[in-house]
Amino acid sequence: MTGVAISRTQQFRIDARRLAARIETLGGVGAIAGGGVCRLALSDEDRAGRDLVVGWMRELGLTVAIDAIGNVVGVRQGLESGPPVMAGSHIDTVSTGGRYDGNLGVLAGLEVVRTLNEAGMVTRRPLAVAFFTNEEGARFSPDMMGSLVFVGGLPLDAALATVGIDGASVGDCLQRIGYAGTARCGNTPVHAYVELHIEQGPVLDADGFTIGAVEGVQGISWTEFTVGGIANHAGTTPMRLRHDAGYVACAIASHARAIAREVGGDQVATAGAVALSPNLVNVIPFKAVITVDLRNTDEAMLQAAEHRLHAYAAEVAAAEGVTLSHRTLARFEPVAFDPAVVNLVEETARALGHSVRRMPSGAGHDAQMLARICPAAMIFVPSADGISHNVQEFTSLPDLEAGANVLLQVLLKLAA
């Protein structure tokens, strides 16, 4: 492109109403009470949503390829051939999902294409808009399955053999809904990947920022502790003769908060589930099971938090004379996005006049899989009150518009 062309493209803006209309139309597929959506991966509703979006891709002139795990990639030719600059996300939802989660990134990508089509603008590199199969993991485990297979991180056969919560396999469901494609998985070159997504957390909304330049995805450490004590009468058993599994579990839960404070930075800690046995007011619990969810963007800090947690748990259990065992329910290392692309998101947002903050993602996204094979980053827009995976999920029209315009300009720069 020439200097003049760059100047012209900097004026390009998406049409927010058009984007919002498509979000509403797609949100009508699998709609549930309260304004939400249920389009579990590879369900009839997912097929209907896929058909709708693929139709829109074809209307925009994109070349649609469907791979063997059902990922859909629509490519817009560039002045040169080669790996595309890709926007994408997912269109499957949890069972009580909202309209924005995933869908925004895909439909904003299509709105970018539409804007460029109407301007008659052809980028140097090809552009692509993709949606990946089963990002949510609500029907089939693991989540982010399609993007994981796309980058070669999970063998296709293993993914196809996965049986969901209703007993159906991924392979059979793909055949049934007509999305068992022919494109090969695991060796698709991508020049760069940018995913626009709602934050699904409260930070941007609470602090009054419009755009989040996402630096990476938190590492996750889920531990389940099982404490074995001795049931006894709450009145007749002196404190010195107790082996109280419930006390130890609650002490660990409380201490998780102290760990988050001590480690600092982006460290979060949550004790979300507790089960005491027999769970009666006047019986000292003989068993307690508790979960602790630790997350950090920095692997060393996450490990430090884990070490503190286990050291404390062992100490308090030994002092109480109870048994302690644990198992790891989940463990993922943090993902760092490409600093150049993160900078590009931040600078672009600022150039467009938006308030922007660098931040981690607390949830997993397809972008963390794409980051394995290409420079990748994400653009966050606010979730009202931080609410997501809920029919009340909401992002305002100005915020949708801001996010999509940042996506447009970032894609143009990456494709230039």
Query: Shortest gap between Cβ of 360 and a copy of itself (angstroms)?
Result: 9
Question: x/- string (CB under 8 A) for a copy of itself, residues 300-339?
Answer: -----------------------------x----------
SS3 400: helix
Q: What's the rounded Cα separation, in Å, for the pair 46 and 318?
A: 51
Q: What's the rounded Cα separation, in Å, for the pair 187 and 240?
A: 63
Query: Shortest gap between Cβ of 383 and a copy of itself (angstroms)?
Result: 8
SS3 116: helix
Residue of 151, 176, 87 lying closest to 406 (CA atoms): 87
8 Å CB contact between 249 and 326: no
The residue type of 202 is P
**CA angle centred on 138, ends 218 and 387, rounded to 5°:** 60
Q: Is 180 in the site for a copy of itself (CB under 8 A)?
A: no
What is residue 67's DSSP assignment?
B
Q: What's the rounded Cα separation, in Å, for the pair 116 and 154?
A: 35
Question: x/- string (CB under 8 A) for a copy of itself, residues 349-368?
Answer: ------------xxx-----
Query: Shortest gap between Cβ of 17 and a copy of itself (angstroms)?
Result: 28
8 Å CB contact between 267 and 257: no
Q: Is 200 in the site for a copy of itself (CB under 8 A)?
A: yes
Q: Is 289 in the site for a copy of itself (CB under 8 A)?
A: no
Contacts of 276 (CB under 8 A, 6+ apart): 245, 246, 249, 285, 287, 288
Q: Is 235 in the site for a copy of itself (CB under 8 A)?
A: yes
Interaction with a copy of itself in 31-70: which residues (CB under 8 A)? Answer: none
Q: Is 257 in the site for a copy of itself (CB under 8 A)?
A: yes
Query: Shortest gap between Cβ of 359 and a copy of itself (angstroms)?
Result: 9
The residue type of 271 is A
CB of 278 or CB of 339, closer to a copy of itself: 278
Q: Is 282 in the site for a copy of itself (CB under 8 A)?
A: yes
Query: Shortest gap between Cβ of 329 and a copy of itself (angstroms)?
Result: 6
Query: Applying CB under 8 A, which of residues 4, 167, 233, 353 lies at the interface with a copy of itself?
Result: 233
The residue type of 280 is L
Q: Is 202 in the site for a copy of itself (CB under 8 A)?
A: yes
Q: H or E segment at 224?
A: strand 219-228
What are the structure tokens assigned to 204, written together? Answer: 């941007």
Q: What's the rounded Cα separation, in Å, for the pair 113 and 267?
A: 38
Q: Which stretch binds a copy of itself (CB under 8 A): 1-9, 118-126, 174-182, 259-267?
A: 259-267
Q: Is 244 in the site for a copy of itself (CB under 8 A)?
A: yes
**Phi, psi (rounded to 5 degrees) for 338:** -65, 120
CB of 92 or CB of 266, closer to a copy of itself: 266
Query: Shortest gap between Cβ of 90 and a copy of itself (angstroms)?
Result: 17
Question: In the complex, which residues of this chain contact a copy of itself (CB under 8 A)?
Answer: 199-203, 206, 218, 220, 222, 224, 232-239, 241, 244, 246-247, 249-251, 253-254, 256-257, 260-261, 266-276, 279-285, 291, 293, 295, 329, 361-363, 386, 388-389
